[in-house]
Chains A and B, each alone.
Chain A
Amino acid sequence: MKLCFLLTFSLTFFLSGCGIHERIIDEVQIIEALGYDREEGKVKGIAIYPTFAEQGNVKLKIYKTVSDSYEDILPRMNAKSAYPIETGKLDFVLFGKEYATQGIEDVITNFARNPNTASRMQLGIAENTAEDILQSSKHVNLSFHLSEKINQNIESGNLPKMNLHMFLNNFHQEGRDQILPYLILEENQIKIDGLALLKNGKYINHINLRQSLILKTLIDGSQNGQYKTKITQNKKEGFILLKNLDAKTTYTVEKSEGIPSIFIDLTIHAEIEKASSWFDLKKDKDIVKLERILNEHFKEEVQRLISLAQGYNVDPIGLGEKVRANSRNWDYQRFMDIYPEVKTTVHTNIDILNTGIEE
């Protein structure tokens, strides 16, 4: 019995050690950002990896490789690396505009196949090439700053909730198209300049940051974000910067058969963060007046955004999803055909809660 115990114990002990593919942090090459570009019919891959020369001092370095298709980009980089490349910490994938125009479906769905891929990984579209952006991000010497930039802007800026999971969710869903952050270079610094609209994983067009705040309030409501608008009062022109405190959108599908019509009710509770100095905000009457002007403004902007999307034939808001949730015989193909003609009525309700600590 003693022997039997010894045998089983040692078996369990030793066997548990074998076959496990050890991945010790010093002996793998973590890559934290990856970019894909199309160049003269070939695919160019760029990966950023951190090196830790001394404690607390990160240096970002770059692997580049070219292949005739995207599948073997990582194996080709692996051939250049001293340690096996590990994608477990990868949290940003960037696509050049040309690559995205031809479709990013393959890359994304294959990332999803890998159990090591983080669901919260961020994706993005670069204005020119992914290489430009990643090259200039190398100098920042701060790990994960690209995905943090996007996360930060989702939390407190103008971007709606996004990550790999959300992208796949919308990609496979009937009735909602995908959006990704759109990155540009400004003074050699990376800036998020709005949202890229995609359909079936193919880049269609992009919208600016102001429009993306409106899209954010339309998609998931929002807690944060800033919005600048031009106001004309008493024949004087001035600017107001609204700080978006709390926004909520409700959709009512009034008619789901035939050409659908949707009623959109948008409520924004905002704070005036900055305003041109001649604005008179002392009296309640002026606030009410301002609210009326802003109401008109937002109504117009929402309507414009929707017709813009309808013009591109993409549905980032998920109007299709709202119709689907309300119809008994849903036919996605038919909805796609009539999508540009879907009628929307917008009602906005802007509430200015305060003007800061001074009037």
Chain B
Amino acid sequence: MKSLLDERHLVSSFYVFFLIYTNIIGIGIMSFQRDITKDAGYDAWISIILSSISIHILVWMIYRILGIAKNDVIHVHKFCFGKWIGGLFNIFVIFYFLILALIVFRVYIEVVQVWLFPLMKTWQISLILLVLIYYVVSGGFRVITGMCFWGTIIPFIILFPLNFFSLEFANFHNLLPVFNHSLKEIVSSSKAMLFQYVGFETLFMFYPFIKNPDRSQKWAHFGLLFSSLLYLIVALITFVFFSEGQLNHTIWPTLAQMKIAKFPLIERVEFIVVSIWLLLILPNISVKIWAGCRAIKKVINVKQRISLFSVLVLFFIIANVLKERSQIERLNEMYSNIAFYFVYLYIPFLFLYIHIKHKINK
């Protein structure tokens, strides 16, 4: 199959693993435990597995959709719904990616302010980060993929083992009794878990940039499997480390459980954790902004450099307007509702629609 793009813009299919992983693991990994235990208590590890399975099915669907179109989702929309209605959907897609990036961006700034530098102003942190993001995204998709690769390797090697220090105070009785929640509770906790996987849809945009896209599907599934295993392990460690009552009081359980690690000379591990975490957040935001700008380019034909610059200026303004935690949380909640319908209703709908359309056109 001949690719639409020049060979020098493409990445090899193996990197899809890192792209999917960095897109999923972002801000959620630090705080998802409390959201998923709200309904299902300490049976929530079941919902991690359930939602992971459902996302695997959706990734398979995305590959089928894009396999027919052999192009990205912008093209799919135009093909399915025509220029005008398709264009409307495309504008939705632009906002979908950009708002997701904005949430990640704003929450990370919040973490830095709460944990590290309480006196640092939002505009200072956001300006530094945005300059960095501009640098990464303007380098093009291959540079972003490189960031994804290192953003996977370095934080995983340094941060993941820190979780295990908390096992010194583990209480395995916390997990018992298992299966003590109704199916309804597990399902609504799976819904909360879904938001932690949101981000994998950027696959819709970077699909044409993969060499041998058909062969990359297994790497996408591996990336997904790896992320859900990470979620599962971190959640289980949290469950044995915190009692259910205490978890309800903890806003960032993963950070709090890493805090128990103690090294000579390094009294406060969380300073290192939050700093290294940036390596994971940076590609996470970059891919989404890149996807948004790429979509803008294809819809209204603006140069990517210009759209990127205006998007980042917008980010800077909005990040400074959202001052309180409650505002961020409201945005987050609103977004997760939209994401739920987009992922679970719209993707299967598109999957069916494009198959029917494809058959008719034949």
Interface residues of A (CB under 8 A from B): 8, 11-12, 15-16, 18-21, 88-89, 109, 112, 115-116, 118-120, 161, 165-166, 168-174, 176, 318, 321-322, 324-328
Segment among B156-164, B203-211, B245-253 that sits at the interface with chain A: B245-253
A21 touches B127 (CB 8 A): no
Q: A19-B119, A119-B259 are in contact. Are A11 and B127 (CB under 8 A)?
A: yes
Q: Can you list 14 contacts pairing A with B, beta carbon distance less than 8 Å?
A: A8-B131, A8-B135, A11-B131, A19-B117, A20-B119, A21-B119, A21-B120, A88-B267, A109-B249, A168-B246, A169-B243, A174-B243, A328-B177, A328-B180
CB distance from A221 to the nearest CB of B (A): 13
A112 touches B177 (CB 8 A): no
- B270: A residues at CB distance < 8 A: 115
- B118: A residues at CB distance < 8 A: 21
For the complex, is B76 an interface residue (Cβ under 8 Å from A)? no
- A166: B residues at CB distance < 8 A: 169
The complex places the Cα of A326 from the Cα of B242 at a distance, in Å, of 19
A325 touches B124 (CB 8 A): no
A172 touches which one: B119, B134, B249 (CB < 8 A)? B249
The complex places the Cα of A12 from the Cα of B134 at a distance, in Å, of 12
A174 touches B132 (CB 8 A): no
Q: A88-B267, A88-B268 are in contact. Are A21 and B117 (CB under 8 A)?
A: yes
For the complex, is B350 an interface residue (Cβ under 8 Å from A)? no
B80-114 CB mask vs A (1 if < 8 Å, else 0) is 00000000000000000000000000000000001
The complex places the Cα of A161 from the Cα of B117 at a distance, in Å, of 32
* Size bracket of the B interface: 20 to 34
The complex places the Cα of A169 from the Cα of B238 at a distance, in Å, of 12
The complex places the Cα of A327 from the Cα of B267 at a distance, in Å, of 41
For the complex, is B4 an interface residue (Cβ under 8 Å from A)? no
Q: A21-B119, A170-B243 are in contact. Are A119 and B128 (CB under 8 A)?
A: no
A118 touches B173 (CB 8 A): no
For the complex, is B244 an interface residue (Cβ under 8 Å from A)? yes
For the complex, is B349 an interface residue (Cβ under 8 Å from A)? no
B256 touches which one: A12, A119, A174 (CB < 8 A)? A119
A12, A161, A176: residue with the most chain B Cβ atoms closer than 10 Å = A12
B246 touches A120 (CB 8 A): no
A19 touches B120 (CB 8 A): yes
A115 touches B249 (CB 8 A): no
A322 touches B173 (CB 8 A): yes
- A318: B residues at CB distance < 8 A: 173
A12, A115, A161, A176: residue with the most chain B Cβ atoms closer than 10 Å = A115
CB distance from A165 to the nearest CB of B (A): 6
Q: A16-B128, A115-B115 are in contact. Are A172 and B243 (CB under 8 A)?
A: yes
For the complex, is B218 an interface residue (Cβ under 8 Å from A)? no
